[in-house]
Structure 1
Amino acid sequence: MSRLKLPQWFVLLLPAIIILSAVVLIPLLLSLYSSFTPYRLTRPETLYKRIGTFNYEKAITNANFWAAFGRTVLLLTIALNVEMLLGLGLALLVNRVTWGQRGLRTLMMFPMMFSPVLVGFQFKFIFNDNVGLVNNALQSLGFSDVAIPWLVDANLAMFSIIFAEVWTSTSVFAILILAGLFAIPRDPLEAAKVDGCTPWQTFRHITLPYLMPFIYIALAIRSLDVARAYDIVQIMTNGGPARRTELIWTMIGRTGYVDAKMGYANAMGYISIFLAIFFTIYFFKKLNAARTELGMGG
Structure 2
Amino acid sequence: MLVPSLVIIAFVVAFPLVYSFYLSFTSYTLLRPIPAWNDFANYRRLLQDPIFGQAFINTLLFMFVTVNAAFLMGLFLSQAVARTIRGQPLLRTLLMVPMMFAPVMVGFQFRWFFNDQVGLVNNILTSLGLLNGSIPWLVDRWLAMFSIGVATVWMNTPVVAIILLAGTLSISPELYEAADVDGANSWQKFRAITYPLLGPFITIALTILSLDVARGFDIVSIMTGGGPAHRTELLWTYVPRVAIQEARFGSGAAMSFVTIIVTVVFTLYLFRQLLKSRIL
TM-score, structure 1 as length reference: 0.86
Q: CA deviation at 1:185?
A: 2.5
**Quick one: structure 1 residues 280 and 155, their matched pair in 2 at CA, closer, same or farther if it must change by over 3 Å?**
closer
Q: CA deviation at 1:188?
A: 2.5
Select which of 33, 42, 47 maps to 2:31: 42
Correspondences of 1:71-86 after superposition (within 5 Å): 71-86=58-73
* Further displaced range: 137-146 or 62-71: 62-71
Select which of 63, 77, 102 maps to 1:90: 77
* CA deviation vs aligned residue, 1:130-189 (integer Å, no higher than 9, x gap): 111112222222221212111111121111001101111111111111012012222321
CA contact (8 A) 2:63 2:214 kept: yes
CA contact (8 A) 1:79 1:166 kept: yes
Indicate yes or no: 2:48 matched with 1:68.
no
Aligned residue pairs: how many?
280
- Residue 129 of structure 1 aligns to a residue in which SS? coil
Amino acid at match of 1:134: V
In structure 1, C-alpha distance between the alignment counterparts of 2:276 and 2:119, rounded to whole Å: 46
CA contact (8 A) 1:217 1:284 kept: no
Amino acid at match of 2:213: V
Identity of aligned residues (%): 49
RMSD after superposition: 2.1
CA contact (8 A) 1:91 1:174 kept: yes
In structure 1, C-alpha distance between the alignment counterparts of 2:132 and 2:92, rounded to whole Å: 39
Q: CA deviation at 1:207?
A: 1.6
Q: Could you list the runs of 5+ residues in structure 2 that have no partner in the other structure?
A: none
* Further displaced range: 241-250 or 56-65: 56-65
CA contact (8 A) 2:152 2:216 kept: no
Amino acid at match of 2:269: Y
* CA deviation vs aligned residue, 1:103-144 (integer Å, no higher than 9, x gap): 321221121121111111111111111111112222222221
Indicate yes or no: 2:56 matched with 1:56.
no
Counterpart position of 1:255: 242
**Quick one: structure 1 residues 209 and 234, their matched pair in 2 at CA, closer, same or farther if it must change by over 3 Å?**
same
* CA deviation vs aligned residue, 1:52-90 (integer Å, no higher than 9, x gap): 222123224444323212111111121122212211111
Counterpart position of 1:199: 186
Correspondences of 1:136-285 after superposition (within 5 Å): 136-285=123-272
Amino acid at match of 1:255: V
Indicate yes or no: 2:18 matched with 1:29.
yes
Q: CA deviation at 1:19?
A: 4.5
Q: Could you list the runs of 5+ residues in structure 1 that have no partner in the other structure?
A: 1-8
* CA deviation vs aligned residue, 1:203-235 (integer Å, no higher than 9, x gap): 222222222332233222212222342111111
CA contact (8 A) 1:68 1:248 kept: yes
TM-score, structure 2 as length reference: 0.91
In structure 1, C-alpha distance between the alignment counterparts of 2:96 and 2:156, rounded to whole Å: 9
Q: CA deviation at 1:283?
A: 3.2
User: Is the radius of gyration larger for structure 1 or structure 2?
Assistant: 1
**Quick one: structure 1 residues 289 and 182, their matched pair in 2 at CA, closer, same or farther if it must change by over 3 Å?**
farther
Counterpart position of 1:4: none
